[in-house]
């Protein structure tokens, strides 16, 4: 589908480099970083939606996202 877009590989590498300058990433490890990031957002989205639903809200509000963030940490 449309969501299966290419990973922003150099941005991902730079992001990790910013946090850990001495850390190197093997050739395709960044693709799995991207996968993990997608799965993180997926989980955050599911939790936020469940929370909005519990509060009888049809849109995701910041408080729903905040509660979701606490749950998945």
Partner 1 sequence: AMAPRRKREPALPSSLVKKIFSHYVKVPVARDAFKVVEKCVEVYFRQLSNDLEAYTLHARRKTVEEADLELLMRRQGLVTDKMPLHVLIERHLPLEHRKLLIPVAMSGNKVIPHK
CB atoms within 10 A of CB 72: 11
By CB under 8 A, is residue 64 in contact with partner 1? Answer: yes
58 and 40 Cβ atoms separated by less than 8 Å: no
**Applying CB under 8 A, which of residues 54, 55, 56, 60 lies at the interface with partner 1?**
60
60 and 52 Cβ atoms separated by less than 8 Å: yes
> Which of 27, 36, 31 shows the shortest CA–CA distance to 6?
31
Per-residue interface string for the shown chain with partner 1, residues 8-47, x marking contact by CB under 8 A: x--xx-xxxxxxx-xxxxx-xx-xxxxxxxxxxxx-xxx-
- Which residues of the chain form contacts with partner 1 (CB under 8 A)? 2-8, 11-12, 14-20, 22-26, 28-29, 31-42, 44-46, 48-49, 52, 58-62, 64-66, 69
């Amino acid at each position: 589908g449309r969501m299966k877009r290419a990973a922003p590989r150099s941005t991902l590498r730079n992001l990790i480099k910013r946090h850990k300058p001495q850390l190197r990433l093997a050739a395709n490890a960044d693709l799995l970083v991207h996968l993990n990031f997608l799965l993180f957002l997926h989980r955050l989205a599911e939790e936020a939606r469940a929370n909005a639903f519990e509060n009888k809200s049809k849109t995701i509000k910041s408080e729903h996202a905040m509660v979701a963030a606490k749950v998945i940490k």
